[in-house]
Structure 1
């Protein structure tokens, strides 16, 4: 079960597509976070979802808000995916320990070995203010992210 709105967001440190460490708690006090877990790079629904985020990036990411997308793919896979799709936001690898961040947020599918489609908007204080969790085949609506960010 996914963590609930109003709870403290679990901290994590993951490598981005360039091999750089990104720690959620380092953004606290400075930026809110749109945290998007997705199953796998290069799959149809996931590619569509990250493409929609890229198209709306001006409304989702700025000096006050950071988008972070997380999958269990390796950083090497995520680098090629980001380059191929023209993505201008961090793609974080939850590869090892496999799915640890997704498990902390309650969005890891043990049977499939990947995250389900869980999204969380975390305020600057580190509290989850909005969330949505969809099954593997169900794309999320980027307009919901925009509304959640606007409500911060």
Structure 2
């Protein structure tokens, strides 16, 4: 009887742990949490530098050097010209360390930075850290005012670059002159 109770409690705990997000998910209209992350280009990017100046897109992926993440990053590289028509800073991001993301970006010849969140603090603050300890494949569209405009939770890896450009258009993000 005691064994059945313990097993039942363990099963219930595992269900709760695998279905709850690691942190409350943010939604459109919420302020983006402050961040300070190092990119694969060696530069540090902060929420402060964009607020009031430029819209931001951050496309989170689970893990560098995996199939879906490779397709997503390549798609964004291939559609870079369409994305850069807008007044937007855009990035991919993961909880991988900076060195791994530098190597990944170099292997794909990316023309945009991958942000690294190895302590997972920003992913947790956004609510996109999965119970597996990696980020969910979600893309955040952030307005110049620092508010989340849209969160894409249904990313299609092979068309993500074109999808980002289309979403920027539909959100009314200003185009560059």
- CA-to-aligned-CA distance 1:2-50 (integer Å, 9 cap, x gap): 3111111112001111332110221112211111111111000000001
Q: Is the 8 A contact 2:56 2:90 kept in 1?
A: yes
TM-score after normalising by structure 2: 0.76
After TM superposition, give the deviation of residue 63 of structure 1 in Å.
6.7
Structure with bigger helix share is 2
Contact 1:116 1:134 in 2 (8 A): no
Per the alignment, residue 115 of structure 1 pairs with 135
Q: 1:104 aligns with which of 115, 120, 125?
A: 125
Is contact 2:59–2:137 with CA below 8 Å preserved after alignment?
yes
1:49 aligns with 2:72: yes
For residues 140 and 106 of structure 1, the distance between their equivalents in structure 2, rounded to whole angstroms, comes to 24
Segments of 4+ moved more than 4 angstroms: none
Shift of 1:132: 1.3
Q: How many residues align?
A: 147
Could you say what secondary structure the match of 1:82 adopts?
A: helix
Q: Which residue of 2 aligns with 1:20?
A: 43
Output one character per residue of 1:89-108: Cα deviation in whole Å (capped at 9) or x when no partner. Answer: 1111101xx21111111100
Q: Does structure 1 residue 128 correspond to structure 2 residue 151?
A: no
Quick check: 1:146 aligned with 2:169?
no
Larger Cα-atom Rg: 2
Cα distance in 2, alignment partners of residues 83 and 56 from structure 1: 17
Of 106, 109, 122, the residue aligned with 1:86 is: 109
Q: Shift of residue 124 of structure 1? A: 0.8
Structure 1 unmatched ranges of 5 or more: none
1:76 corresponds in structure 2 to: 99
What CA distance in whole angstroms lies between the structure 2 residues aligned with 1:11 and 1:39?
Answer: 21
